[in-house]
Amino acid sequence: MSQEPVRTLYINGEWRSANGSGSFAVTDPSTTEIIGYASDGGRAETEEAIIAAQAALGPWSSTTAYERAAVLSKAHALLRERHEELAQLLSQEQGKPIRAARTEVTYAGDFLSWFAEEAKRIGGVTIPSARADQRFITMRQPVGVVAAITPWNYPISMITRKLAPALAAGCTAVLKPAAQTPLLAAATIRLFEDAGVPAGVLNMITSQRAAEVGDTLVESPIVRKLTFTGSTAIGKMLAAKAATTLKRVSVELGGHAPFIVMPDADPVRAAKGAALVKFLNTGQACISPNRIYVHRSLYETFLATLEQRVGALKVGKGTTEGVGIGPLIDNRATEKMESQVGDAREKGARVVIGGRRIAVDGLDGENFYAPTVLADVTPEMLISSEETFGPIAAVAPFDDEDEVIRLANDTEYGLAAYLYTNDLSTAIRVTERLKFGMVGVNDINPTSAAAPFGGVKASGLGREGGYEGIDEYLDTKLVGIAV
Ligand code: ADP
């Protein structure tokens, strides 16, 4: 425990220690060195935060959309001012390359600006009645107190993607960020605080007791909405618990994206795209391609380009300029890479490049795994069904369209899918048959604050961003008026 009093709980407008001053260490995943401490909040502090959010709800929901938009715009302006310092902290605390960290901070800002605008577009409709003496109108009102639980892999944009629409809608919130990235979460909350978000409207409980804080949030009858991004197992469990108080729920969970290269596609362009999207964030993304299916006629060309691209990736500490791939979040993640590669090898996969832990920059390499390409991957291998969340590209050949669509859809997940083809009919036909929430066609980044992000099946419920993003925080009230 640190000597300094640690105050990363933000409750009713004040930065506080946990009761008893409990704290936990935050480490740099590159070096495993301690870079700071965060307060370890529990049930009592979470209950206080919920009460604060409840008390703030009336006044905040009574502000005009224009006032709320102004606060969000101010938060966006502050984010731009602090862009580099946020990116540096993100890269250090989470490990992603500084260039990717800068991109993520910009993306986080996009949600502030998008939902600042969307706040002004919360309107209802008039509906014709069958009765001559009746009129219908709808009002859209904030759902109330929101519980937001966020992951470590996109530690700033997942916060703004939830808090910006919640605030825009007139809701108040309690945030529990991931225990791996509480320092950036605190810096993010400071943006809102400095932008003038009133006391109690936003609250944060940093904690390493995720289950205790999570249960307090989902069991509370005051909390009317749960928004969660994380693993499917935890998301399902929280959604089930939230059902006992019938909360609104949106959960963005795991993925197992297929990446399909049709016979008419350019295999070199597709391989370059695969190398970029697969190794983004060291593969620690829910939209990361987990299965790459390449038509047999293009297979060897694709693999050769992929190998060359992956071989050129510079691995190292995220904060070092020019690094393209950073560490995994922890040793458990690195062990998962070893288990998936070991299993694939045993079952006949070919290791084209990588396939082992590595030491870089004189660091002990505990969390570093070489960017890896596996060829001849089959459905029986663990990597074909289990989410990898790491730097391993698993490639397999296919022969015809029906076969590849069947393989692609053969997963419990349904978040992102990628398709390479130069034929418009193929693009539309295959896209329609893919059971996923998002499809990139010759495109490796089908995401934007302006576009709805989300999945089907075990990948979750609801959409974030886009026109739909704010709906998750609004209830529709029907008013029938006799005239
Ligand atoms: P990951 O495997 O990406 O860490 P998790 O689902 O474990 O995904 O974590 C996502 C978020 O959920 C984090 O904020 C984490 O602290 C939180 N979390 C983990 N376990 C629980 C739980 N039992 N109850 C509530 N929140 C949890």
**In terms of domains, do 158 and 268 share one?**
no
Concerning whether 252 is annotated as a catalytic residue, the answer is yes
Please give the average per-residue pLDDT across 357-383, as a whole number.
91
**In terms of domains, do 336 and 405 share one?**
yes
**In terms of domains, do 266 and 146 share one?**
no
**Per-residue pLDDT tens for 446-467?**
999 999 999 999 999 999 999 9
Q: Which amino acid does the sequence have at 159?
A: I
**In terms of domains, do 175 and 127 share one?**
yes
The preferred substitution site among 184, 220, 231 for testing ligand 1, maximizing ligand atoms within 8 Å of CB, is 231
Transcribe 39-90 into DSSP letters. Answer: E---HHHHHHHHHHHHHHHHHHHTS-HHHHHHHHHHHHHHHHHTHHHHHHHH
Catalytic residue among 286, 387, 464, 472: 286
Q: Cα separation of 331 and 348, whole Å? A: 26
Please give the average per-residue pLDDT across 179-192, as a whole number.
98
Residues lining ligand 1, judged by CB closer than 6 Å? 149-151, 176, 178-179, 210-211, 214, 230-231, 234, 238
**Nearest residue to 388 via CA among 251, 270, 274, 255:** 255
| Cα 169 to chain centroid, rounded | 21
**In terms of domains, do 240 and 302 share one?**
no
**Per-residue pLDDT tens for 374-389?**
999 999 999 999 999 9
**In terms of domains, do 234 and 315 share one?**
no
**In terms of domains, do 270 and 247 share one?**
no
| Cα 293 to chain centroid, rounded | 25
**Per-residue pLDDT tens for 104-135?**
999 999 999 999 999 999 999 999 999 999 99
Give pLDDT, residue 365.
66
Distances (CA, A) of 18 to 5, 275, 284, 433: 10, 44, 30, 50
pLDDT band at 331 (very low <50, low <70, confident <90, very high): very high
pTM of the model: 0.97
Contact 7, 14 (CB under 8 A): no
Whether residue 361 is contained in a domain is answered as: yes
**Per-residue pLDDT tens for 265-279?**
999 999 999 999 999
**In terms of domains, do 347 and 372 share one?**
yes
Please give the average per-residue pLDDT across 401-427, as a whole number.
98
Mean pLDDT of the chain: 97
Whether residue 2 is contained in a domain is answered as: no
Give pLDDT, residue 361.
73
Which CATH number covers residue 290? 3.40.309.10
Which CATH number covers residue 99? 3.40.605.10
Whether residue 20 is contained in a domain is answered as: yes
Structure tokens at 450: 């302006």
Cα 177 to ligand 1 centre (Å)? 9
What is the span of the domain harbouring residue 340?
A: 257-412+416-447
Atom of ligand 1 nearest to the CA of 234: 6
Whether residue 327 is contained in a domain is answered as: yes
* DSSP-based three-state secondary structure for 150: coil
The preferred substitution site among 43, 46, 94, 149 for testing ligand 1, maximizing ligand atoms within 8 Å of CB, is 149
The CA dihedral of 63, 78, 452, 236, to the nearest 10 degrees, is: -80
pLDDT band at 4 (very low <50, low <70, confident <90, very high): low
Whether residue 303 is contained in a domain is answered as: yes
CB atoms within 10 A of CB 167: 31
**In terms of domains, do 206 and 277 share one?**
no
Total domains present in the chain: 2
**In terms of domains, do 377 and 250 share one?**
no
Give pLDDT, residue 451.
98
Give pLDDT, residue 483.
97
Please give the average per-residue pLDDT across 195-217, as a whole number.
98
**Per-residue pLDDT tens for 62-112?**
999 999 999 999 999 999 999 999 999 999 999 999 999 999 999 999 999
**Per-residue pLDDT tens for 259-311?**
999 999 999 999 999 999 999 999 999 999 999 999 999 999 999 999 999 99
**In terms of domains, do 233 and 320 share one?**
no
Whether residue 208 is contained in a domain is answered as: yes
Asked whether the predicted pLDDT for residue 2 surpasses 60, the reply is no
Please give the average per-residue pLDDT across 315-336, as a whole number.
95
Whether residue 98 is contained in a domain is answered as: yes
Catalytic residue among 252, 307, 387, 472: 252
**In terms of domains, do 215 and 135 share one?**
yes
Asked whether the predicted pLDDT for residue 1 surpasses 50, the reply is no
Give pLDDT, residue 82.
98
Which uninterrupted H or E stretch holds 183?
helix 182-194
pLDDT band at 5 (very low <50, low <70, confident <90, very high): confident
Whether residue 453 is contained in a domain is answered as: no
